[in-house]
Amino acid sequence: MKLSLARKPTPVEKHMFKGKEIWIKRDDMTDFIASGNKIRKLEYLLGDALEKKSDVVITCGALQSNHARATNYLSKRLGMDVVLYLKDWYPGKDSGNFLLNKLMGAEINIITPEEYEKVDEIMKEKARELEKEGKRAYVIPEGGSNYIGSKGYEDAIFEMSRQVDLEDFDAIYVATSSAGTYAGILSGVKKLNLKIEVRGVVVHKKPTEVVREKIEGILYQLGVEDHSGINLIRGFEGKDYAYPSEEDLKVIKYVASESGVFLDPVYTAKAFRGMLETMGDQERVVFIHTGGTFGLFAQIEALEGII
């Protein structure tokens, strides 16, 4: 069951940067507190949770996870309790998404990066414990990235195909981490038979093969047998996930000052820079703005260097 939670359709805006037409799909405007890409996945995931009569939602992410913040907000609005497992890591604690999670309230468990390696098992064990107490728990994997969540991004492509002629564009660019967004976009493009490249700029250090396998697994479950065209751009992850480079921070300032669009320091700044630096002779492209605005406020110290 799909819920209707996001404010849709989100606008597709035409902008010019460095002489190129860059059309921005404003999925940073899908909501306020639940804004960003995760709400589209959660329309399916939380629909599934309700269908299964769940009363608790368990999920995980980095300390500043956008996914955890959106899941917390939406699950509560739908009447379910929330348990979060957050990886204790840079950047700063009581700010950004983490601050919002604390204000909204939830059972927040901070775990070490070593424990986080086994977070799927930890969440399953928690679900079993809650079930012994008579509750029904629904576990959502990191980033909401499984085939159920990815359907939200097939829908985003269907939505965009009604707003613009996607075949007039050279490529779609999107930040890629747990890869459910990328998988949904590529699946949507294939299901509509569109001739457009889909490029995912990877924002962490995990091997390309691992990301590719995840995408292929989801494509398979979405009924897409042709796995060609997976195009992952590397070299823009910087030091690692959630560590923006100075160039990334400068891109945030450049885009904000040129257009009033705010990129975030963890995903979209890296993806936007990756796009600008690899688009070559492409003249007109789509950039999916996946949100993350609150993450800016967790990186004030880093940003002080460029403002």
Ligand X SMILES: *Cc1c(COP(=O)(O)O)cnc(C)c1O
User: Which sequence positions are flagged as catalytic?
Assistant: 65
Question: Cα separations (Å) of 153 from 9, 14, 147, 160, 187?
Answer: 12, 21, 10, 10, 8
Judged by the rule CB under 6 A, the positions of this chain that interact with ligand X are 36-37, 66-67, 143, 145, 175-182, 264, 267-268, 290-292
**Whole-angstrom distance, CA of residue 56 vs CA of residue 139:** 9
Enumerate residues 6+ apart whose C-beta is below 8 A from 134: none
**Min. distance of Cβ 1 from ligand X in angstroms?**
21
Q: How far is the CB of 168 from ligand X (least distance, A)?
A: 25
- Alpha carbon distance 263, 94 (integer Å): 21
- Closest separation between CB of residue 252 and ligand X, Å? 13
Q: Considering beta carbons, is residue 130 or 274 the nearer one to ligand X? A: 274
Q: Which is nearer to ligand X, 69 or 126 (CB)?
A: 69
> Token digits for 305?
């260097």
67 or 273: whose CB is closer to ligand X? 67
Q: Which helix (H) or strand (E) holds 268?
A: helix 268-278
Paired strand residues for 202: 176
Q: Which residue has the tokens 């396998």?
A: 213
Nearer to ligand X, 72 or 268 (CB): 268
Minimal distance in Å, beta carbon 234 to ligand X? 14
In whole angstroms, how close is the CB of 93 to ligand X at the nearest point? 18
Name the amino acid, one letter, at 67: H
Helix (H, G, I), strand (E, B) or coil at 9: coil
Q: Can you say how many angstroms the Cα of residue 106 is from the centroid of all Cα atoms in its chain?
A: 21
Q: Tokens for 24?
A: 């921005």
Q: Which is nearer to ligand X, 28 or 170 (CB)?
A: 28
Q: What is the Cα–Cα distance from 292 to 271, expressed in whole angstroms?
A: 12
Q: Which residue is nearest to ligand X (CB)?
A: 292
DSSP secondary structure, 273-285, as one string = HHHHHH-TT--EE
